Amino acid sequence: MRTLGIVIKKQNKKESDQLLTVLTKEFGKVVFTAKGVRKESAKLAGHLGLFNMSEINFVHGRRQRIITSALEKESFSGLKKDPAKVEAARHAAELTDRCLFCEEPDERVFNLVLGSLDYLNRKELNQFELKMFLRYLEFKLLSLLGYEPEDKTIVDAFARSYVRLSENELDEMAERFNKYFQNIYTT
């Protein structure tokens, strides 16, 4: 089978394998096994980097899906050059991973994550703008999943032609969002 997906999580397994959590448009969040991907000679390694969008071919094993080949479509290299943007992308990926069940496709969530990575890749953002972006992303993800927060400060701010939120207000919103996310799909 074949799918287009974004690698949102990597976890080492055995000596040279990895478990990859991939957000796909067709299948939702899927955990794949990438055999031998940590070997120096691994051809798949460059195509399955964290936050890469790749075309993935896979087979169904007895208890797992195994990647047979992959071709990188977008690496978001601009994002990966900025530690603050990498941390923002990691935050987005972690929220996505925590809030989605496996194999429940939602094209809107896939497009939100893909759009977020593309935005981080192309845009120059200062610290305040990055915080604002993350709060907006959190709100959008919650809304798409049907858990829209009652605090709509961020929506009001974007509806106006100017933003009057302070950095402290954004930090408070981040704290409230984090508490909210902890109550969703706890494992």
Q: For the chain of 187 residues, list the mean pLDDT of each consecutive stretch of 10.
A: 96 93 95 91 87 96 92 95 96 92 92 93 88 84 77 55 63 66 46
Tell me the sheet residues that pair with 20. 10, 32
Question: What pLDDT does 40 receive?
Answer: 83
- Name the maximum alpha-carbon separation found in the chain: 55
Write out pLDDT tens, residues 48-77.
Answer: 999 999 999 999 988 899 999 999 999 999
pTM for the structure as a whole: 0.81
Give dist(CA 79, CA 127) in Å, integer: 14
Domain limits, CATH 2.40.50.140, in the chain:
2-74
CATH 3.10.20.30 fits 2-74, yes or no: no
Question: What pLDDT does 178 receive?
Answer: 63
